[in-house]
Amino acid sequence: MTDTHAHIDLCEDPATVLERAAGLRALLTLGTDLEHSRASLELAEEYPNAYAGVGQHPTEAGSFDAAVAAALRELATHPRVRASGETGIDYYWDAASRADQLRVLDFQLELAEEFGLVLVFHVRSKQGSDAAERDLQAWLELNRPKRFVLHAFGGDMQLAAVALELGGYVSFAGNLTYKKNEHLRRAAAELPAERLLVETDSPFMPPVPKRGRKNEPAFVRYTLAALAEARGLEFAAAEKLTDENAQRLFQW
């Protein structure tokens, strides 16, 4: 199994959750600012199946400056860093201006191209809006990144179509297991097999039956089981598929 998106340094006890995830083929722990990018890389240096992403989350875009950029660029030279991010567009929290978010997004693209990293996109609009999805879609169409993933896919099929067209991947998180999310299970059944990934977004978004507690990479099995069921696959076949997809994308 592979967890393509986690924030291990935000977990209460990183050592314990990483011990429980020792059987995972690989996991990617992502920074949300400079400090957390550093912490993510430290974990990736220590644990053989852990790799890091370095970046400034869209909600932190207001504090991005030249010094942060230089420090992230320095971290990105490390061989355990495989992703540029977490980056993207977030209008849900009103935490940073659109201009600041787009500026960071452009920087993360530069970083990805310079160091051969995978862009990891977060996208979230306010309830009832799709402004963030449309802005990310336009940005993708303009910039045409080569290697990227839509993390915690929320079901916007128009964005998925553009991502797939460009060669991008789509990653499903614990919300795939939620009863109300029949549309996500439909998407998981319909999207092309060779572009599917699974993740936890630990410590957030725990899957059924772990709701109400902190998520951790070992729980990726529940999302993987939901993906297998949606596609009519045996668990082992879904595991092989998503392990191979992640390996191809992140080159670990």
64: its two tokens: 């991005």
Which residues, 200 to 239, sit near Zn ion by CB under 5 A? 201
Question: Which residue lies nearer to Zn ion by CB, 147 or 151?
Answer: 151
Least distance in angstroms from the C-beta of 154 to Zn ion: 13
Strand 118-124 and strand 169-172: pairing?
unpaired
Cβ nearer to Zn ion, comparing 86 with 239: 86
The structure tokens listed for 90 are: 């977030």
* Smallest gap from residue 232 Cβ to Zn ion (A): 29
Q: Among the candidate windows 44-52, 95-103, 137-145, 198-206, which touches Zn ion by CB under 5 A? A: 198-206
Per DSSP bridges, beta strands 50-54 and 81-90 are parallel
Binding mask 57-86 for Zn ion (x = CB under 5 A): -----------------------------x
Contact 82, 26 (CB under 8 A): no
Q: For the CB of residue 44, give the shortest distance to Zn ion in the complex, in Å.
A: 16
94: left (phi over 0), alpha (psi -120 to 50) or beta: left
Quick one: 86 or 133, whose CB is closer to Zn ion? 86
Q: Which two tokens stand for residue 38?
A: 């550093």
Which one of the spans 15-23, 47-55, 59-67, 196-204 is the region binding Zn ion (CB under 5 A)?
196-204
What burial letters (b/e) apply to 210-244, b meaning 16+ CB within 10 Å?
A: beeeebbbbbbbbbbbbbbbbbebeeeebbebbbe
**Residues within the interface to Zn ion (CB under 5 A):** 86, 201
